[in-house]
Amino acid sequence: MYSYALLEKGCYYLIQENEQAPVSLIKVNMESDSCMYVSRFGETAFLEWKRKTDSIFDIIELLDDNAVKKWESIYNDSEDTFNYEEDEE
């Protein structure tokens, strides 16, 4: 079992918070003495505070810069497509 305290600010991670949870992509935006402020990406992105002691079942992967750039390209393209469809109605 891991915790948020192991994650580094400014990095993107694929994690699984518990054994039954889906894989999530997160980015650590800032760190305080006892918490981490993270972005969680799914159908929509949202920000949340996590205690450093909050458990993580598995830290699957730390994404390197190339993987982040590829993901951003795909994610931004899909957001543009979604927004375009909304504008058509």
Rg (CA), the chain: 15
Q: What pTM value is reported for the model? A: 0.82
pLDDT in tens, the chain (89 residues): 899 999 999 999 999 999 999 999 999 999 999 999 999 998 888 999 999 999 999 999 999 999 999 998 988 877 555 554 455 55
Domain ranges of the chain: 2-63
Collapsing DSSP states into helix, strand and coil, what is residue 9?
coil
C-beta separation of 42 from 56 below 8 A? no
